[in-house]
A and B are shown apart, each in its own frame.
Chain A
Amino acid sequence: MKGSKRAALGVVLALCCLCACSSKGISASRHSVALVAKSTQTEFWLSVFAGAEAAATEYNLDLSIMGPETEEDFETQNRMVAQAVEDGAEAVVFSAIDFENNASAIDEASQKGVSIVAIDSSVDSQAVSTYIGTDNYAAGRMAAQAALDRVDGDLEVGIVNYDISSANGQERERGAVDLLKESGRANVAAVINTLAQAESAREDTIALLEENPQINVLLAFNEPTSVGAAWAVEDLDRSEDIFLVGFDSNVITVDGLQEGSVDALVVQNPYAMGYLGVESAYKLLSGQGGSLESTVDTSTQIVDRENLFTMDSQKALFAFEQHLN
């Protein structure tokens, strides 16, 4: 009698264990990921967000997206990273405005056990698990090559770049300048660093062109500077004699391509950056971090007047998602 009581007790205990195990197994927690961008305004970044959200839905993640007003405000970015960590983000997908000045915030976050994925523009930190974005040096060379291919004779090049501390802009510039030097028929007449806002880029470019009237090639290295440069060329009515190579897709630069003020665009793949960035964060959080490569090159392509409306260019230039609203 005593024995059977003990047996019953044993069975009950075992069942309890079973229940505990199964209930623990079923409930799976959602990982929390924060995406800290350089900006929340430009089409480039909207496309990044679209990709990020697609991945967040696919992998069942809590995604919060944030970014400063201007693409120079690394301090706000640092605050946002700290805030995201405080709010419980387990991984941060980050695009650094300032290669050096953002590093401390990222290191700090990393010390708290947060995984770091860099997209678009990397940061000077060992904590970065993987970089997903354009091979910026190659993209810079691509922009220069586009100009070299399509302009005969000597090239007087003006470069409209954005914040000097941003890693990707500097990489692009280096790539372009290297190739221009290699070509032997190009001279970099002037380099300006303007704010990553179309209006200031416009004014600075006008000043640049007025100062250096010999310039026949302009290279602009991101979306706002490209828009500003296109406006400037239009304002000065120099669409015909200035070959402008811009970056990224924007309705204004696409208009410019058709009208002549813009001659080629280096189109990146922001959707892929956002998607792969969040996907990598998920992999890091779910213990598959080993399969990540340290650098993932999202493709870039040149769009000019000839291939502007091919199906591939359409898909590269015009995201479906941006017309949802």
Chain B
Amino acid sequence: MKKTLSTGLRTTTILVSMVVGVVAIMLFCFITIFLDRYRSAMVQSAQTSTAQAVAQVSNTVGNYLGDMNQAMELVEQSMWEEVEGRDELLSAFLKFRPDVVAVTSYSREGELLDCWSLGREPREEIFQNLSFDLEKARDYLGAYMTAPHVETIFEGYYPWVVTMTAPLTQAGEAAWVSLDLSFSSISSYISNVSIGQRGYCFLMDEEGNIVYHPQQQLLYSGLKAENTPALATLADGAYADDTVIYCITSVEGSDWRIVGVSYVDELVNRNVHEMIRLSFLLAGVLLAAALLTSWLLSHLLGRPLRGLAAAMESFETDADHFTYRPVGGTREVRELSASFGHMVLRIQQLMTTVREEEINLRKTELKALQAQINPHFLYNTLDSIAWMCEQGRNADAVKMVHALARLFRISISRGHELIPIEKEIEHAESYLQIQKYRYKNQFTYEFDVEPECLSYYCNKITLQPIIENAINHGLDLLVEEGHIEVRVYQQGEDILFCVQDNGVGMTSQQIESIMQHGPHDRTGIGIKNVNDRLKIYFGKNYGLHITSEPDVGTCVEIRMPKIREGDYEGK
């Protein structure tokens, strides 16, 4: 029973952990799927934002170049004018366009003819002019544009510029005109573009040479590198790898391309990590909530049920002394508990009733037995009396008849179970008297009774069966004269009767057999019945105790409480 109980509990535990496990796995799956989706969405949005930033840069650079073309047209137009008008126009143009660093014209041989610049004169000896390359100018039929370079024709002034050179078709000394436009607006614009915290843009040409990079100095010193050859082969668009998102856009009207670089780590991973953290935290909370709920459920249902089960178990082992304490919990459990309580009371009541009935039955049975007189005894006794009369031993016969009469009177005692000890002694003595005659004085007997005991009560016919046993089993087979001593004395709250003989004694098996079984061959009260009766009346602690030694004798001790008149009348 106990085993099944614990297996049941284990099943609950397994069930709970299974549910929690399934919930955990499902949560994990959901989170994984969600995070995957979230990450791809984040990558997408990072690519989009990079692409937008790059498109904006591309527009700005495109505008810059378009602006340059416009400016070049103006310059070309002004070149048509006469010398004075031209100077006037160009100086107005330079004032109007402060981002134009210089306008220069060159002869067919590539010599610098004129230079217009706001407030500056070119060096007398120009070491190297990066704004004009004769060979390149001859190669190109139309206008062309250089990569950004340093303006080198002035003293102490080295701005970064982009040069546009156009051939002049009209007759005149000047064959080419160059326009140097400051690059700083673009460079600072590109430098200030930031995509996320660390992302940036740079400019490269179609071959992958870097035109402008916000961190040029780190690049040329080898502290930073851009994989431009690989980027040059890519078409316009966004490319994401594990760490970096590249976004490439060509600038309209030139061979320049804008490359936007942004970091996955920063734009995506940080958000994803935050999301992962949040998700797992949420999952943890949910799991904790699930565990808490299951714990609470087990607390609300399981524990009271276990309590109920334990109560049932203890009821099972000892129904008599079980007192039921109600178990709390949910309504169902309380109802169950109340029903069990009722049941316990009912069962206990039934048990008491059954036991009482059983005792009554036994008492009735015993009373019936007491009422009976062993017919052999009666027949033998009467036979002895008759024989005495025949011999003319009238006095002895009278004595025997008196003793027999006393025996019967006390046996009946008007139906009372309990009689004064005095009467019981009288009864025993009458019996012994009769037997002594019958056995022709083969034994002697003696009474040793404490006078205080006489007024207490005892069950009737307690001593007689024991004396009968002593005579039949102990003295009958004895060769020499037997002796029976009956002692009655107090011991604390109890009264002890002791019947001692000097007969053949009994083995322990015999003692056991006498205590276990009733008389087989005869009617009348056996030793077992005496014992049972005392126990029924006074409880386990009272009854018979036999000590015997073969060839020495037997001592039967009867213990019963001190009873006064009326004490046990109810029983």
A315 to B130 CA separation, bound complex (whole angstroms) = 14
Q: Mask for A258-272, Cβ within 8 A of B = 1, else 0?
A: 100000000001111
Prevailing SS type, chain A contact patch: helix
A4 within 8 A of B: yes
Q: Which residues of chain A are within 8 angstroms of B399 by Cβ–Cβ distance? A: none
Could you tell me the distance in whole angstroms from the C-beta of B463 to the nearest C-beta in chain A? 68
B405 within 8 A of A: no
Could you tell me the distance in whole angstroms from the C-beta of B123 to the nearest C-beta in chain A? 8
A104 within 8 A of B: no
CB–CB B220/A320 < 8 A:
no
Known: A25-B277, A57-B194. A299 touches B222 (CB 8 A): yes
List A residues 11-32 near B (Cβ within 8 Å): 11, 14-15, 17-18, 21-22, 25-26
A309 to B131 CA separation, bound complex (whole angstroms) = 11
Could you tell me the distance in whole angstroms from the C-beta of A288 to the nearest C-beta in chain B? 13
Q: Mask for B142-182, Cβ within 8 A of A = 1, else 0?
A: 00000101101001111110000000000000000000001
A11 to B286 CA separation, bound complex (whole angstroms) = 9
List A residues 281-301 near B (Cβ within 8 Å): 298-299
B278 within 8 A of A: yes
B212 within 8 A of A: yes
| Segment with Cβ contacts to B, from A64-72, A154-162, A248-256 | A248-256
Q: Which residues of chain B are within 8 angstroms of A311 by Cβ–Cβ distance? A: 147, 149
CB–CB A276/B223 < 8 A:
yes
B221 within 8 A of A: yes
Could you tell me the distance in whole angstroms from the C-beta of A119 to the nearest C-beta in chain B? 13
Known: A54-B215, A308-B127, A320-B216. A251 touches B274 (CB 8 A): no
A324 within 8 A of B: yes
From A275, which residue of chain B is reached at the shortest CB distance?
B218
Q: Which residues of chain A are within 8 angstroms of B127 by Cβ–Cβ distance? A: 258, 305, 308-309
The count of A-to-B residue pairs whose CB atoms sit within 8 angstroms is: 119
Most chain A beta-carbon neighbours within 10 Å: one of B147, B150, B184? B150
A321 within 8 A of B: yes
From B198, which residue of chain A is reached at the shortest CB distance?
A58
Q: Mask for A298-325, Cβ within 8 A of B = 1, else 0?
A: 1100000100110110111111110110
CB–CB B218/A272 < 8 A:
yes
One of B149, B157, B217 near A272 (C-beta < 8 A) = B217
Known: A60-B197, A298-B221. A25 touches B274 (CB 8 A): yes
A21 to B280 CA separation, bound complex (whole angstroms) = 12
Could you tell me the distance in whole angstroms from the C-beta of B532 to the nearest C-beta in chain A? 56
Count residues of chain A with CB under 8 A from any CB of chain B. Answer: 49
B389 within 8 A of A: no
Known: A54-B214, A60-B197, A252-B156. A6 touches B285 (CB 8 A): no
Q: Which residues of chain B are within 8 angstroms of A17 by Cβ–Cβ distance? A: 285
CB–CB A320/B150 < 8 A:
no
B296 within 8 A of A: yes
Could you tell me the distance in whole angstroms from the C-beta of A234 to the nearest C-beta in chain B? 13
B309 within 8 A of A: no
From B128, which residue of chain A is reached at the shortest CB distance?
A309
CB–CB A251/B156 < 8 A:
yes
A10 to B281 CA separation, bound complex (whole angstroms) = 15
List B residues 410-461 near A (Cβ within 8 Å): none
CB–CB A14/B285 < 8 A:
yes
A51 within 8 A of B: yes
A3 within 8 A of B: yes
Known: A18-B285, A22-B281, A299-B222. A320 touches B215 (CB 8 A): no
A7 within 8 A of B: yes
List B residues 506-547 near A (Cβ within 8 Å): none
Q: Which residues of chain B are within 8 angstroms of A299 by Cβ–Cβ distance? A: 220-223
Most chain A beta-carbon neighbours within 10 Å: one of B127, B212, B222? B127
Count residues of chain B with CB under 8 A from any CB of chain A. Answer: 46
A276 to B277 CA separation, bound complex (whole angstroms) = 32
One of A11, A22, A271, A316 near B289 (C-beta < 8 A) = A11
CB–CB A298/B274 < 8 A:
no
A114 to B310 CA separation, bound complex (whole angstroms) = 68
CB–CB A255/B197 < 8 A:
no
CB–CB A320/B222 < 8 A:
no
One of A25, A51, A60, A309 near B152 (C-beta < 8 A) = A309
Q: Which residues of chain A are within 8 angstroms of B188 by Cβ–Cβ distance? A: 320-321, 324
CB–CB A255/B215 < 8 A:
no
Q: Which residues of chain A are within 8 angstroms of B285 by Cβ–Cβ distance? A: 11, 14-15, 17-18
Known: A10-B289, A25-B274, A314-B150. A269 touches B217 (CB 8 A): yes
Could you tell me the distance in whole angstroms from the C-beta of A8 to the nearest C-beta in chain B? 10
Known: A18-B281, A272-B223. A251 touches B217 (CB 8 A): no
CB–CB B158/A254 < 8 A:
yes
B92 within 8 A of A: no
CB–CB A255/B156 < 8 A:
yes
List 12 A-B residue pairs with CB atoms under 8 Å apart, sorted by A's residue number.
A22-B278, A251-B158, A271-B215, A272-B218, A299-B221, A309-B127, A309-B128, A317-B150, A317-B158, A319-B217, A320-B187, A323-B184
Excluding A10-B288, A21-B281, A320-B191, 7 further A-B contacts by CB distance (< 8 Å) are A25-B277, A269-B217, A299-B221, A309-B130, A309-B152, A318-B158, A320-B187
6 closest pairs, A vs B, by CB? A271-B217, A299-B221, A258-B127, A320-B187, A14-B285, A323-B184
